[in-house]
Amino acid sequence: MPTLIFATNNQNKVNEIQSLVGSDFKIIPLKEAGIDIDIPEPHDTLQENANEKAVTIFNITNQNCFSEDTGLEIDALNGEPGVKSARYAGEGRDFQANIDKVLLHLDGIENRSAQFRTVICLLWKDEVNGLQTHYFEGTCKGHIASEMHGEKGFGYDPIFIPEGASKSFAQMSMDEKNTYSHRQKAVTQLFEFLRLK
């Protein structure tokens, strides 16, 4: 089975993506690749951060790899927390503190529409074309609930209700979340591309 390094330390993302890809590819997270670093996300766009993560890992391993960066973009907050989603309430990257901050900022605001956006960066090297950089993007529109619902998933899942659903991502099984999710849409494009390679 072909393997591909995924430049992440987030096991939730690994599980979601591996369940989508099935047995076509084996996804290797950083820990399994023997890499113990916290890759910085210093940029103002998801694309630049995704690129930084993939380039960092490619430079260490010299192996084909991909990374992803995801942001929650809330209309009434002018697209915030967006690229700052992980550290919205501070450097601790605390899921609960981030959720509390979103709910506080949206208190009394009627427009609660939002979207998750994922950008994947693939670094792919082959003998024909050398090293190439490819991007894939997926979005999931929805709205922010007035309080937390459910205990599954991670991050902002308990307050995000995708369009067409009546429950939050945190109330869904991983398979159900994958039918709606931003990550699934970006990952599907990535693996369609790889299958044609």
Per-residue mark of binding to ligand IMP, 4-43 (x: CB under 6 A): ------x------------------------------x--
Binder of ligand IMP out of 183, 186, 187, 194 (CB under 6 A): 183
Q: Please check whether residue 95 is in contact with residue 162, taking contact to mean a CB–CB distance below 8 angstroms.
A: no
**Would you call 69 a catalytic residue per the annotation?**
yes
**156 in contact with ligand IMP (CB under 6 A):** yes
Question: What DSSP assignment string belongs to 47-95?
Answer: HHHHHHHHHHHHHHH-S-EEEEEEEEEEGGGTTEEETTGGGTT-TT--H
For residue 133, the tally of other CB atoms under 10 A from its CB is 13
Residue 171 DSSP SS3: helix
Residue placing its CB nearer to ligand IMP in the complex, 28 or 187: 187
Binding segment (CB under 6 A) for ligand IMP, from list 27-35, 55-63, 142-150, 151-159:
151-159
Binding segment (CB under 6 A) for ligand IMP, from list 32-40, 101-109, 121-129, 154-162:
154-162
> C-beta of 103: minimal distance to ligand IMP in Å?
14
Could you say which of 36, 69, 100, 157 is catalytic? 69
Give the contacts of 144 (CB within 8 A, at least 6 positions apart).
Answer: 74, 102, 103, 106, 112, 114, 159, 160, 161
> C-beta of 158: minimal distance to ligand IMP in Å?
9
Tokens 């945190």: give the residue.
170
Look up residue 21 and give its two tokens. 């890809």
Q: Please check whether residue 64 is in contact with residue 124, taking contact to mean a CB–CB distance below 8 angstroms.
A: yes
Task: Look up residue 48 and give its amino acid.
Answer: E
Per-residue mark of binding to ligand IMP, 57-86 (x: CB under 6 A): ------------xx-x------------xx
By CB under 6 A, name the binding residues for ligand IMP: 10, 41, 69-70, 72, 85-86, 98, 116, 153-157, 169, 183
Q: Which residues are catalytic?
A: 69
